[in-house]
Structure 1
C-alpha cells in the first residue's frame, strides 16, 4: 500500500507555524494515544526548537490503559511534560492548564520583575489531522470556539481563542509531513482516520487492520464479532464478520466494501476494545 499525501494546505500550515512561533510562549503538541509515535509529526521538533512544550495524549479512552502509562513513563524519562486527555469527556483539561502554567512559570516571573503583570500565556496547539484538536480547544475554552468535525482537515486557518487559566491559544490546521517512509506509520495513520479513506483501497486497509488485530488483540476481535479465529487468514476473518453482521449482497455473496467500512468504523470508535497499536519498546531509535 503506497500512501503519499501532502496537500498544498499542509505546506501553508507548516509555514504558518514557523512564522507565528515567535508570538507564543508555549507549544501544545497533541498526539493520538493509540499511536503516539505515528501521530507525532517529526517536522514539529525542528519547527519549535527549544520552545517550552507540553505533550497531550488525546483519545486516551480509546487506547489501552497499561500502554497509556508506559508512554507517560517514557515521556517523563525524557523530562517532557505529558498529560492524558479525552477531550470529549473533558478528562485531563485541568491538568493541561496546570502544566501550561508550570511550563512558562519562569518566563512569567521574569515579566513580573520587569513590572509586566497579568499577562496572558500565549500558546500554539499543533497536531496531525483528526487527532481531536478542535474538540480539545472547545473543552479548554469551555465553549464552542473552534470548528469541529469527524473528518480530517476541518480547521482551515489561523485563529486566537481565549481559554481558561488566562491562556490565549493560537489554533492551526492539522499538519502531516511530505511522505511516509515507514509503512507501519502510514498504516497506523490510515487505521485511525488521520488520512482520508478516499485516497486508498478501503478493503485492503481493513484487511491490514484485521491482520494487526489478529496478531495483537485476537481475543477482542473474537469477542466483538462472536467469531472463533484459529489459523484464519485476514480475508477469512473478514468473511466471518460479514456473515455475523449481515454484510451480504444477493445470493448470500459477501459485501466486502460494507464489511470493511464497518470494521474500520468500529475500531475507530473503540467498539472493538481499548487498543494501542504501538508501545515505546516497539519503536527503535525513538528519541
Structure 2
C-alpha cells in the first residue's frame, strides 16, 4: 500500500511588524484619552472630596453640627418635593395624551349616534358659525367702497347672489359693484365671450385667470417669495403658472381710487360663494401668498385686509351662505350640503350626473358606459384604483374625488347663457348708468380682449355641457337663518328637542285657521292671538287599546 505523507501544519506566527504594532498602540492611547476626557466632563473620574468635619477644638461645635444636619434635611425635603411634583406632572400629561388618543380613535358611528341623540348641540354650533359668517360678510360690505363679486366662468349665473347685489346697491355711499369672471381657462373662448356680453348689460366685467405659481410659493415657504414675476416671464403666457387680467383689474381699481375725494385708501371687498377663487384673486393681485387657499369649503373664516398698492386695499371675506331652498343641483355643485353633513357624497354625485350629458362624462373620465350613479362610481373607482380590502371598489373616495374636480379648478364644464333670465328688478337704467359713469367701456373691452388672446382655452369637445339652475339664493342676515331639523317623518326619537315641540304646536293652529271664514279680498287674516295647548294625561287601559293581537288581562282564557 502506498501512504501519502503530508507536511505538518504550523501555527500562524503572532509576530507583527513594528509599524503595525506602533499603530495599534497609538490607537489604544487615543481611545483611552477619549474615555478619560468624557469621564472628566461627566465628573465620573473625580473622587468626592472628603468632609474634614468640625474640629474638636472649634467653639460651639454642637450648634454647628446641628445647623448642618438641619440644612441637610431641608435639602433632602426639597429634592423629594421636586420629585413628587415632576411625577404628578408626568401623570397629568400622560392622562391628557390618553384622552386625546381616545377622542381621535372614537369611531364615526358613535359620533353619528351622539349627533342623532343630541341634535340641538350640532345645530347650535352650526347656527353659531353661520351667524358669525353672516356678520363678517356684512362687515366687509359696510367697510368697502367697491365690491367685487367673483364669478366662476363655468357657471356665472349660478354664482350670482341677487340678495347680495341688492344689499350693496341699497347701502349708502354710492358703492360700486363689478364682476370678475374667474377660471376662464376652464371654459371655451366662445362661451366666455358670450357671458361677458351678457353680464356687461348690468355691471362692468373683468376676465381673470389666476396663477397656480402663487399657491406653490405658499407651500415652499418664503425663500422664493420674490420669484413670482420672474417665473411668469420664464413660463410664458401659455403656461398655467401665469396670471392674466390682474393688470386690467389693478388699473380699474386705481382709477376708482383716483376719482374718490379724500386721502384714504380705497377699500375693495371681495365677495362670492365658496370655491369661486376669492383668496386666489387677492394673492395674484398682491403678488405673494397673503391668504390661504384650498378646495375645501370655509377656509376663510373672517375678514382679512390686504394692501396691494399705495392707494388700494383688498378685503377678503368668508363665502356667502346658500339657502336650503335652492335647487338640489345648485347645492351639489358647490358641495354645500355635503360639507354640512346633510347630504352624502353619493347623493351629490347622482344629482350632478343628471344635469350633464352622459357621453361627455364618459369621454372626460375615459370609462365605459354606465346606467346609474352607483355604476359610474364603481367604474371610476376601478379606473383610479380606489380599492378597499378584498378588491372591492371604494365608491365614497371616488365620489369625493369627483366632487373635488367640480368644486376645484380641474374639470372643464360650461353653461350657455339664455334669455330666460332677464334683468333683475333692482338693476334699473339709473343703476347701470351710475356703474358705468366713471369707466371707459372701450378701454375695458380692449383689456378683456388682450386677456382672452393670451389664455389657452379648452375645446368644446373636451368640456362638459352643464345645465345651470339660475342664480343662487343667499343668506346675508342672521335672522333669516332657519333652524335646521335632523328628524324626519311622523315617528319621533326618544329624545325630543324643545324647539321641535314648539314648531309642532305652531303648525296645528295654522291648520284650524284655514277652516275659518276668509275676508272679501280672498286673503286670510293674520292671527294676532297665540293659542297654547295644554298636555292632558291619557290613561292607557284595555278599553283604549283595541287591536286584533291585543291580550286582555281581565279575561281568563281556557
TM-score under structure 1 normalisation? 0.78
State how far apart, in whole Å, the 2-side matches of 1:263 and 1:131 are. Answer: 17
Cross-structure match for 1:196? 339
Provide the secondary structure at the position in 1 that maps to 2:155. coil
- Alpha-carbon contact 1:123-1:170 (below 8 Å) kept: yes
State how far apart, in whole Å, the 2-side matches of 1:45 and 1:12 are. Answer: 20
- Alpha-carbon contact 1:207-1:238 (below 8 Å) kept: no
Cross-structure match for 1:182? 327
Note closer, same or farther for the CA distance 1:155–1:238 as it changes in structure 2 (3 Å cut). closer
Is 1:167–2:312 an aligned residue pair? yes
Is 1:257–2:396 an aligned residue pair? yes
Q: Which runs of 4+ in 1 moved over 6 A?
A: none
State how far apart, in whole Å, the 2-side matches of 1:133 and 1:232 are. Answer: 37
Cross-structure match for 2:452? none
State how far apart, in whole Å, the 2-side matches of 1:25 and 1:170 are. Answer: 11
Cross-structure match for 2:366? 226
State how far apart, in whole Å, the 2-side matches of 1:282 and 1:237 are. Answer: 33
Is 1:100–2:253 an aligned residue pair? yes
Note closer, same or farther for the CA distance 1:261–1:15 as it changes in structure 2 (3 Å cut). closer
Note closer, same or farther for the CA distance 1:52–1:246 as it changes in structure 2 (3 Å cut). same
State how far apart, in whole Å, the 2-side matches of 1:144 and 1:262 are. Answer: 26
Cross-structure match for 1:281? 418
- Alpha-carbon contact 2:346-2:396 (below 8 Å) kept: yes
Is 1:85–2:203 an aligned residue pair? no
Cross-structure match for 2:148? 28
The superposition leaves residues 243-270 of structure 1 with CA deviations (integer Å, 9 ceiling, x where unpaired) of 3333344555332213222333344455
Is 1:42–2:149 an aligned residue pair? no
User: How far apart are 1:139 and its partner, in Å?
Assistant: 1.1
Note closer, same or farther for the CA distance 1:172–1:269 as it changes in structure 2 (3 Å cut). closer
User: How far apart are 1:26 and its partner, in Å?
Assistant: 0.8
Paired residues in the alignment total 266
- Alpha-carbon contact 1:63-1:274 (below 8 Å) kept: yes
Cross-structure match for 1:243? 382
Cross-structure match for 1:18? 138
- Alpha-carbon contact 2:136-2:302 (below 8 Å) kept: no
CA RMSD of aligned residues (A): 3.1
State how far apart, in whole Å, the 2-side matches of 1:255 and 1:282 are. Answer: 42
State how far apart, in whole Å, the 2-side matches of 1:134 and 1:45 are. Answer: 20
User: How far apart are 1:27 and its partner, in Å?
Assistant: 0.7
Provide the secondary structure at the position in 2 that maps to 1:205. helix
Provide the secondary structure at the position in 1 that maps to 2:313. strand
- Alpha-carbon contact 1:10-1:177 (below 8 Å) kept: no
Provide the secondary structure at the position in 2 that maps to 1:213. coil
Note closer, same or farther for the CA distance 1:204–1:47 as it changes in structure 2 (3 Å cut). same
Greater strand share, 1 or 2?
A: 1
TM-score under structure 2 normalisation? 0.43
State how far apart, in whole Å, the 2-side matches of 1:77 and 1:194 are. Answer: 33
Provide the secondary structure at the position in 2 that maps to 1:281. coil
State how far apart, in whole Å, the 2-side matches of 1:267 and 1:172 are. Answer: 22
Provide the secondary structure at the position in 1 that maps to 2:306. strand
Provide the secondary structure at the position in 1 that maps to 2:200. helix
> Out of 173, 176, 179, which is 1:52 matched to?
176
Equivalent positions of 1:60-139 (< 5 A) are 60-78=184-202, 80-88=203-211, 89-103=242-256, 107-108=259-260, 111=261, 116=262, 119-139=264-284
State how far apart, in whole Å, the 1-side matches of 2:140 and 2:406 are. Answer: 36
Q: Which has the higher contact order (CA 8 A, sep 6+)?
A: 1
- Alpha-carbon contact 2:257-2:265 (below 8 Å) kept: no
State how far apart, in whole Å, the 2-side matches of 1:156 and 1:256 are. Answer: 31
User: How far apart are 1:173 and its partner, in Å?
Assistant: 1.7
State how far apart, in whole Å, the 2-side matches of 1:149 and 1:28 are. Answer: 20
Structure 2 unmatched runs, 5+: 1-122, 212-241, 425-558
State how far apart, in whole Å, the 2-side matches of 1:121 and 1:194 are. Answer: 36
User: How far apart are 1:12 and its partner, in Å?
Assistant: 3.1
Structure 1 unmatched runs, 5+: none
